[in-house]
Structure 1
Amino acid sequence: MSGGQILRAVGGAEDSGGHLAGAGRVVGAYLRRLRKERGLRLVDVVEAGLVGSAPTLSRLENGESPLKSERLQALARFYGVTDPSELESLERLASRSQDVQWWEEFRDAILGWLERLISVEASAQEIRTYEVQYVPGLLQRPEYAKALMRHALPGTSVEDAEKQVATRDRAVRVRQTRRNVLSDAGGPDYYALVDEAVLARPVGGAQVMRMQLRELYSLEENMDKVHIRVLPFSAGDEAMAPAPSITYLSFPAHREVDMVYLEVRNGGSYLTNPEDVDRYRLVLTSLWHKAADREETLRLLDSYIRKLSD
């Protein structure tokens, strides 16, 4: 769909936009929204001498062409942006859009619908996620991730199984490298809501699950930017979300370029319509208030760790 609705809903196709689908698309979407808010057409910007043609501006707004600093500053100021901090945020995002991303060499191991999510995580100011089945990807230990991959990428023959093992190993490496965003000094604040059912499901067996739960306990206890809360069974149906997996990403440029990623077993979709995004943001906020507090979350984690140690 177009017009700021679901930008992508796929089951395995690759995103031809590459890493420009990340920070560059965020900046482009922001500039397009600013232009439209001022009632300007593409041709109006061209006539003002800021770009050479309407197709050029369209490519910039879609994140299909790199946006140089001088042009970015000129467009932003033409659209009325004067706040130095906002201009600096745009500059930082535009700079990231021109970098070669670490995950480019792992394209063969990245499920198509995840590519865009990975490309924008490091550019986000805040990430909020909710999971009812699994530990969120950014919090997974390699053993836990590998156990999940065995079900997500099964082999159908001996030869195929060998290839799948290699692909799974690379996919696990991608997931572990993604976690660097949590320790990056300039990385986003991360808020994870995990249903208690996730703690009760021993993915990979007791030993693997015990290590994973200890990892969650350690992250909540020791990392300032990581906040983990458990939605207990006692919260009842009031703690049920409209989707089993929700990730909300906010960016420093402007709330209206924020996005929501919804994942299902064999695909995912991205919502960019401000009304849809805001609705899911409010859902996550409501669920956060219904979740166990930090002390109770740590107690619940410890309780399940002890059960797996018996």
Structure 2
Amino acid sequence: MTDEDNATTLPRRQLGQYLRDGRLAVNLTLEEVAPLMQWSASKLSRVEQGKSPGVRVVDVEALCRIYGTDDPAVVAGLVGLAKQSAGKSWWHAFDDVIPGNFDLYVGLESSARTLTIFRPDMLSGLFQTPDYANSFDRIYFPDIADEELSRRAQLKAKRQAVITRKTNPVNVDLIVHESVLRSMAGGPRVMAEQLNYLANMPANVTVRVLPFSAGFPVGISTGPFTLLDFGQDTKGRDVAPTVVYIESYAGDMYLERAKDVARYRQAYSVIQQSSLDVASSKRLLRQIVREYQG
């Protein structure tokens, strides 16, 4: 395996983005912050662009103090990114260094220009109605308080703004397996509301259903995955490498190697060819809504 295969810029790119957001949130310029770190403005700029591989934990902690970032989960998450960025690995299950309540994926999702999503199991949080989401949260967190449940719903609604905002909404290509539509969560009323919501997505979201009759288009189950593309600059170059996000019960994985990204793109293409077209998918969604309302 070559160094190119091993190298990843994901942790330091995300670290840089969070640090830049922190600086802008307190209205400080590069020129104002850099001297406090005994850095040049150009060095701080490189850190924020994810181009500096050697960001120390003490530097991250110092920047957090300058920006007034005192949420322990956020600080721990940024420290974890700094630790992870120092190593070489082509995949990352970040759980060992980044706390679970610091959601790295949401940061990636919010900066993506295009999301390509396959869900054979349940709907992504990006599309969940409050009642559908709550039905899962109450099972997964059996002792959750109503206040915490409400907070989680608010955070999910904020996350969903990336597909509903009027300015530059993210483009989404979504495929869900038919089993997702027929697996009960929260009862018939909740399912009817959820599937009706899915059938009426805005124009920037394309929804297709992989029917039971398609069998196993790829030969084996890929599990759920998301391809995140971050757009191109004025010269037609990718702003950042595409990331494949793989969610699992044990932890999340992020792939960046070109051959891994290509493999998942190919899998998505095969699954898409076996899926119903958009119009037929909407008809099926609305048919199942009527069944739940029956």
Q: What's the offset of the Cα at 1:6?
A: 11
Deviations 1:143-192 (A, max 9, x none): 1011111122222xxxxx43xx4333212211111111002321221111
CA deviations 1:24-48 (Å, max 9, x no partner) are 9xxxxxxxxxxxxxxxxxxxxxxxx
Could you tell me which amino acid in structure 2 is paired with residue 248 of structure 1? L
Q: Of residues 207, 226, 238 in structure 2, which corresponds to 1:247?
A: 226
Measured after TM superposition, the shift of residue 256 of structure 1 is 6.2
2:192 maps to 1:172: no
Q: Taking every aligned residue pair, what percent have the same amino acid on both sides?
A: 26
1:188 aligns with 2:160: no
> In the alignment, what sits opposite 2:120?
132
Aligned partners of 2:281, 2:155: CA distance in 1, in Å?
Answer: 28
The answer for unaligned runs of 5 or more in structure 1 is 9-15, 25-48, 66-99, 156-160
**Cα deviations across residues 128-153 of structure 1 (Å, max 9, x unaligned)?**
11111111211111110111111222
1:60 corresponds in structure 2 to: 51
Deviations 1:93-113 (A, max 9, x none): xxxxxxx9xxx89969x9827
> Which structure shows the bigger proportion of residues in helix conformation?
1
Alpha-carbon deviations, 1:197-237, whole Å to 9, x = none?
00001211111011000001111xxx110100000001012
Does the aligned pair in 2 maintain the 1:23–1:123 contact within 8 Å?
Answer: no
Structure number with the bigger relative contact order (C-alpha 8 A, sep ≥ 6) is 1
Counterparts of 1:188-207 in structure 2 under 5 Å? 188-207=170-189
Q: Separation in 2 of the partners of 1:178 and 1:241?
A: 31
1:18 and 1:154 map into 2 onto residues whose CA distance is 36
Residue 309 of structure 1 and its aligned partner are, at CA, apart by: 1.1
Conservation of the 8 A alpha-carbon contact between 1:213 and 1:301:
yes
Does the Cα contact within 8 Å between 1:241 and 1:283 map onto a contact in 2? no
* 2:205 equivalent to 1:226: yes
With the length of structure 2 as denominator, give the TM-score of the two structures: 0.66
Distance 1:23 1:266, change over 3 A: farther
Gaps of 5+ in 2: 23-39, 57-66, 77-97, 233-237
Q: How many angstroms does 1:18 deviate by?
A: 8.5
Offset of 1:264 from its aligned partner? Answer: 1.2
Instruction: Measure, in 2, the Cα distance between the counterparts of 1:227 and 1:111.
Output: 33
2:18 is equivalent to residue 20 of structure 1:
yes
Give the equivalent residue in structure 1 for 2:194.
212
The 1:240/1:209 distance shift into structure 2, 3 A limit, reads farther
Secondary structure of the residue aligned to 1:248 is strand
Alignment partners' CA distance in 1, 2:194 and 2:155: 18
Over 3 Å counting, the alpha-carbon distance change for 1:245 and 1:200 in structure 2 is same
Q: Distance in 2 between matches of 1:127 and 1:294?
A: 17
Q: Deviations over 1:25-77 (max 9, x none)?
A: xxxxxxxxxxxxxxxxxxxxxxxx99569x96996345969xxxxxxxxxxxx
Matched residues in 2 for 1:228 and 1:247: separation?
A: 14
In 1, distance between residues paired with 2:21 and 2:231? 11
Determine the structure 1 residue equivalent to 2:247.
Answer: 263
SS of the equivalent of 2:226 reads: strand
Query: Do the aligned partners of residues 307 and 176 (structure 1) sit closer, same or farther apart at CA in structure 2, a change above 3 Å counting?
Result: same
Report if aligned partners of 1:51, 1:57 keep a CA contact under 8 Å in 2.
no
Count of residue pairs the alignment pairs up: 230
